[in-house]
Amino acid sequence: MDKKRVLIAFSGGLDTSFSVPFLMEKGYEVITMTLNSGGFTPTEMAEIEAKALKLGSKKHIALDVQQEMFEQMIGYQIQANGLFEGSYPLMCSDRYLIAEKLAEYAKLENCTAVATGNTGQGNDQVRIDVTLGILAPELENIAPIRDWALKREEEKKYLIDHGFEVPAKHSNYTKNQNVLGVTISGSEIDQLQEPKAEAFELTKQTASEPTYVELDFEAGLPVAMNGKAMAGVEILKQLNRIAGSYGFGRSRYIGDCMVGIKGAIWFEAPGILTLIAAHRALEQLVLTWKQQDLKAIIDREWAELAYNGLFGSPLTEDLKAYLEQNQQRVSGHLKVKIEPNRVSVVEISSPYSLIDRSIADYAQTASWNGEEAKAFIKIYGMQTLIASRKGKTLPQSLSLVKGGK
């Protein structure tokens, strides 16, 4: 009988390194796959592949998914001003791509199972497992650390006993990086204290004199920077570098986890925070106030679904369709000022601007006269005035009823 075949999402860290020989020992033929969503250099990707093969993987698959990540997730995140609980820029969204590619390549490689390094303690297991359940319910879904209730010291001992090296820990922090930026946890962050300077990578301030960046948006998405047409993912990476050099984009986040606890991290996300700031400014110019009111609800719901493991839900698809329609006129040109720890939109224009100076120039001139303004104010405020007057004193008959007389 042929061996069972499993595809492992392989990062090269302890948990996924342990999983390769462990699952081989359990009777599986192992294939490994690494996604580069912006967190690895070409040299690091080559080192990860070499490590996977050394551990016993029969084949290693390496994929660059940065463009796909932008098209499938980050683009909608910009359109939805996607910040979970108003602050966290959804840097976990590449987990959905991990699940998608596991399902896709497991079928291509005739695998009967997929595996991840999920430990049973965090949010990523929910994002990945729910998505796998949608895309490939027929595949066995294995998480060795979680399924066998293993501890890190047991993993290290297993690898050493099987003749594999376990690198010494090089940092007090756990970091995850993709094209959106870096999340940082561990050490004093877990104690709700300020991390040391060594914790940060993208937001080390090396520039102090203000600079300007010009951005063009079409249908809610960035399409050009400083007059040059450019893919959105490349604009994002450029802004990570430029805004990050001013120390912008660094923040602490204490959030609500799906597993029922609160968690503390710091993150660096200069590019996406710059793009969201620019996008919001453009929306203020081109959307009506009722569109903005409703969209604030849509934005919040989209961010909650994306964070909470439901990116593949029917409601997410509904919201994406809404965003595509709503954003048709969110197009224009912006000038963004970048200075230490701050970005601000200083100039903006759009062919869809709802400011029409031939009708009115705010607080200066208008196409109506004073009498028309007074009449409008009288009618506009009438309900409020009536309610205010009625509420000041209770009619005597009602007072008697209320008093029980």
pTM of the full structure: 0.90
Point out which residues pair with 222 in neighbouring strands: 217
How many beta carbons lie within 10 A of that of residue 185, not counting itself? 18
Any domain includes 371: no
405 lies in some domain: no
Q: What is the pLDDT of residue 122?
A: 81
The CATH number of the domain where 211 resides is what?
Answer: 3.90.1260.10
Positions of E strands within 66-173? 113-115, 140-142
pLDDT at 1: 42
- Residues 59 and 96 grouped into a single domain: yes
Q: Do the domain assignments include residue 167?
A: no
Q: Are both 35 and 135 inside the same structural domain?
A: yes
Give tens-digit pLDDT for 290-310.
Answer: 999 999 999 999 999 999 999
Determine, yes or no, domain membership for 220. yes
Q: Name the least confident of 96-110, 137-151, 330-344, 376-390.
A: 376-390
Residues 33 and 138 in one domain: yes
How sure is the predictor about 363, in pLDDT bands with cuts at 50, 70 and 90? low
Summarised one tens digit per residue, pLDDT across range 311-329 is: 999 999 999 999 999 999 9
Q: What is the pLDDT of residues 100-140, one digit of tens each?
A: 999 999 999 999 999 999 988 888 999 999 999 999 999 99
Q: Are 260 and 153 members of one domain? A: no
Assigned domain for 114 exists: yes
Q: How many domains are there within the chain?
A: 2
Are 206 and 254 part of one and the same domain?
Answer: yes
Look at residue 345 in the predicted model and tell me its pLDDT: 98
R_g of the chain computed on alpha carbons = 27
7-41: per-residue pLDDT in tens?
999 999 999 999 999 999 999 999 999 999 999 99
Write the CA distances from 111 to 51, 63, 114, 117, integer angstroms: 21, 18, 7, 18
pLDDT at 2 over 80: no
Instruction: Calculate what percentage of the chain has a pLDDT beyond 70.
Output: 93
Q: Which of 161, 190, 223 is the last residue of a domain?
A: 161
**Cα gap 350→373, rounded to integer Å:** 29
Residue 28 placed within a domain? yes
Domain boundaries, position 216: 174-287+330-349
Together in a domain, 153 and 193: no
Residue 264 lies inside a defined structural domain of this protein:
yes
Looking at 349, 379, 397, which one is the last position of a domain? 349
Query: Is it the case that residue 78 has pLDDT exceeding 60?
Result: yes
* 335, pLDDT greater than 80: yes
**How far, in whole angstroms, is CA 287 from its chain's centroid?**
24
Question: Are 242 and 93 in a shared domain?
Answer: no
Closest CA to 180 of 273, 44, 313: 273
Pair (48, 156) in one structural domain: yes
CATH number at residue 47: 3.40.50.620
pLDDT at 405: 44
- The answer to whether position 281 is within a domain reads yes
Q: Are residues 12 and 134 in the same domain?
A: yes
Of 161, 183, 201, which residue is a domain's last?
161
Tell me the pLDDT tens digit for each residue of 178-219. Answer: 999 999 998 899 899 999 999 999 999 999 999 999 999 999
**Distance, CA of 269 to CA of 327 (rounded, Å):** 23
Q: Is the pLDDT of residue 373 over 90?
A: no
Amino acid at 167: P
Q: Residue 342 pLDDT > 80, yes or no?
A: yes
Render pLDDT for 232-243 as a digit per residue (tens, 0 to 9).
999 999 999 999
157 with 183, same domain?
Answer: no
* 156 and 54 share one domain: yes
237 and 146 co-located in one domain: no
What is the residue type of 402? K
Residue type, 345: V
pLDDT of amino acid 381: 83
